[in-house]
Amino acid sequence: MAFGIKKSLFGRLQEKIDKVIFAKGEVDEEMLDELEEALITSDIGMDTTMKITQKLRDDIENMGLKDPNVVKNQIKTIIKNTIDKGDAHKLCRETPLIILMIGVNGGGKTTSIAKIAKKCKDEGKTVLLAAADTFRAAASEQLEIWGERVGVNVIRHQEGADPSAVIFDAVQSAKSKDIDVLICDTAGRLQTKKNLMTELEKMNKVISREWPEGHRETLLVLDAATGKNAISQAKEFGEITEITGIVLTKLDGTAKGGIVITISDEFEMPVKFIGVGEGMDDLKEFDPKEFAEAIFE
């Protein structure tokens, strides 16, 4: 299975599509209406579903598609094209690289930071972590524990400190030690959206001023298991700051994979990583073609 994803993740979506397409043995409007329902009930949003089925209608008419197997392959192609953002799916390979990690608490942000740090370290890069979530109790301690496990240092201040001060010190340390990748944890307090926006603006200003030659990524961590709530988070964080990519966690058989399709379509945000398990190597680089194939295996 592509990405190491459990088949149960896509089993229901695949079964629904197969049931609709092959039940009657013919391609007609009734089949397309039933297909819309199958997609909507698989965590694919209404607007995205309408786009997929309208494109399928056009292809059926323009290409004269009558064979259900051919129609199924065409759906796969449409889904693949919907989620494919080209090279934007890849994490920036240039160094020095500063990654701001954003997302609500409990979504897997801290563990994702550790997994990305390990991935970069395994590639031979030097990594430093910045514990700039200074408002959540024990957030810095948790990041330090993960840093020890991965074997990278963590810059931290006391609880309640100014997050931008942590970023400043982390940037200075990274520059002095010629660090390749600086990964910065941030607070995930969407309930105080204005404060969060101000904090992120200050952090970005510090980075731009102190390390202007640094390449930048801002990754939004979303919990796939939360379904439509993750879609709302993508929308709200997108209003606060510019996001370069999504890290979708807990996509390990407990969630429906349709959320990837909706996020890719509605927000034009490339998915860069998906979490398919608890292990340190279970954060996989996202490949649209493999993902589409996995749905229909």
Domains 2-86 and 88-287 share a fold: no
pLDDT value at position 5? 53
Q: Which fold has domain 2-86?
A: Four Helix Bundle (Hemerythrin (Met), subunit A) (1.20.120)
**Residue 140 pLDDT class (50, 70, 90 cuts):** very high
* 295 token code pair: 């749905």
**Residue 271 pLDDT class (50, 70, 90 cuts):** very high
pLDDT value at position 1? 43
Enter the DSSP assignment of 137. Answer: T
Confidence check: pLDDT of 2 > 70: no
Q: What's the rounded mean pLDDT across residues 12-17?
A: 78
Express each pLDDT in 79-134 by its tens digit: 999 999 999 999 999 999 999 999 998 889 999 999 999 999 999 999 999 999 99
According to CATH, what is the number of the domain 88-287? Answer: 3.40.50.300
pTM reported for the whole predicted model = 0.91
**Residue 253 pLDDT class (50, 70, 90 cuts):** low
Confidence check: pLDDT of 9 > 60: no
Averaged pLDDT of the chain? 89
Q: What's the angle, vertex CA 289, arms to CA 284 and CA 291, rounded to 5?
A: 50
DSSP 33-49: HHHHHHHHTTT--HHHH
Residue 91: name the closest of 293, 273, 295, 279 by CA. 273
What is the domain partition of the chain in residue ranges? 2-86, 88-287
Amino acid at position 118, single letter: K
Express each pLDDT in 193-223 by its tens digit: 788 889 999 999 999 999 999 999 999 999 9
